[in-house]
Structure 1
């Protein structure tokens, strides 16, 4: 939308090989909706909780979806009030993660065998969005990840939509009376 800033995810990972975007309309200010995003717990998103439980991750009742769980998957990159950005870098096979901050690696590294991963939760223009971008630094790594992506994408999409619906429900419950 005109006047909105570019997302930090777009700035750090403008290109990708794999991408998944989910969105849901949520009224309220970015601060209100993002506060709800950080407060939403796994019991509020039962489908997401069930799907994530399959992986063996800690999704106990007091754990927050965005603030706790996603933070464990990578490094939080500072953004504006309207976005939570998580970034990770993984070496493929015997390739080690290159030195540097995740942000530096995302923007500068072209070493073969690396997966650059970014995922955000953002509220802008009345929409709560989650977007994931993955970029492989070489063709072999891209092909290997494509097989994994084929198997997880559907469940990942269900998980993200369940999370967004739970965040929306909390934001509506906690919305100040206007």
Structure 2
């Protein structure tokens, strides 16, 4: 995450202990279904996202919103951009734009799911490319932050449950 967005204006972190090995946890990260996270599914449905029961949370849904960044085996990293105004999208991949775009009116987003030292975490970082965009984004961030936190914790719980089932051989 530090490589993607070392600086940010807005940040949210959630953690959950998972007593399982890295292989089981990361397999669960990639395999967890929306049907396993009912609260997250309900909240994301309000946004119009396709959260059909059989869709995988990470690989089918989140990766459809931006670029998946290759990382070490303990992390899934996602990059996204959004223009607050009706401006043309700058040239480049989403990951390139998150790393280097300075065009005004753009909000850069980095999100991860990481498993290290028995803790599964998700972190979101948001960086606006200019002060006006940051000021305009702040009310939105304050509005969505509670629901976003509930969504993230529901996702983490679903991943933990799946990882524990896999570790137990169920």
TM range (shorter): over 0.9
Conservation of the 8 A alpha-carbon contact between 1:18 and 1:133: yes
Quote the residue 1:4 is aligned against: none
Question: Which digits, 9 at most, give the CA deviation of each residue in 1:152-175, with x for residues without a partner?
Answer: 110000000000001001101110
Moved more, 25-34 or 78-87: 25-34
Conservation of the 8 A alpha-carbon contact between 1:75 and 1:86: yes
Shift of 1:176: 4.7
Conservation of the 8 A alpha-carbon contact between 1:75 and 1:87: yes
Give the TM-score taking structure 1 as reference length. Answer: 0.90
Question: Which digits, 9 at most, give the CA deviation of each residue in 1:59-118, with x for residues without a partner?
Answer: 111101111111112111111111111101222203322112223222222221111111
Aligned length: 169
Aligned-partner Cα distance in 2 for 1:13–1:138: 15
Conservation of the 8 A alpha-carbon contact between 1:122 and 1:130: yes
Matches within 5 A, 1:1-178: 9-176=1-168
Quote the residue 1:5 is aligned against: none
Give the TM-score taking structure 2 as reference length. Answer: 0.94
5+ residue gaps, structure 1: 1-8
Conservation of the 8 A alpha-carbon contact between 2:21 and 2:167: no
Shift of 1:26: 0.8
Moved more, 82-91 or 13-22: 82-91
Helix, strand or coil at the partner of 1:84: strand
Aligned-partner Cα distance in 1 for 2:101–2:58: 27
